[in-house]
Amino acid sequence: MTAAQPVVSRTRATRQASAVDDALAATTDFRTAQDLHAQLRAAGVRIGLTTVYRHLQTLADTEVVDVVRTATGELAYRRCATTNHHHHLVCRHCAHTVEVEGPEVESWLDRIAARAGFTDIAHTVEIAGSCPRCTAARA
Ligand SMILES: [Zn+2]
Ligand SMILES: [Zn+2]
Ligand SMILES: [Zn+2]
């Protein structure tokens, strides 16, 4: 019955992935993989840190979550407010994140890619700066 094995592990993987999804849905704050892992373990979910990391990476790749780098260099994740393609303005001091759409950026990229003969293009645009609150605090 070795054929049944992949089905079992796929089901478990799906269950673990949806546990991570639920943990992200429960908060609007940025959480590190370690935070989410500890939270899931405390809730009785049997999941490895590597699995949490891998699923978060998948979510980040498909723009389901926002990713920021904390002051200590760790990556922190938060479920995006929108599922549409968008970009982020990220405060480099407090990690406050604003989701922005950039139709001009999209059409510019399409144009230059087409001109260079590229197809199947993808891009990442993240804008770092000081948010209004941090700007005021530093003034
Ligand atoms: Zn986002
Ligand atoms: Zn800030
Ligand atoms: Zn874009």
- Residues sharing a CB contact under 8 Å with residue 36, sequence separation 6 or more, in sequence order: 20, 23, 24, 52, 56, 77
Dihedral over Cα of 70, 84, 24, 54: its sign: negative
CA 40 to centroid of ligand 3, rounded, Å: 32
Mean pLDDT in residue range 131-135: 95
Residues with CB under 5 A from ligand 1 (ion): 66, 80, 99
State in Å: Cα 30 to ligand 1 middle.
12
Residue type, 41: R
> Residue 123: nearest ligand to its CA?
3
| Per-residue model confidence as pLDDT tens digits over 18-70 | 999 999 888 877 899 999 999 999 999 999 999 999 999 999 888 788 888 77
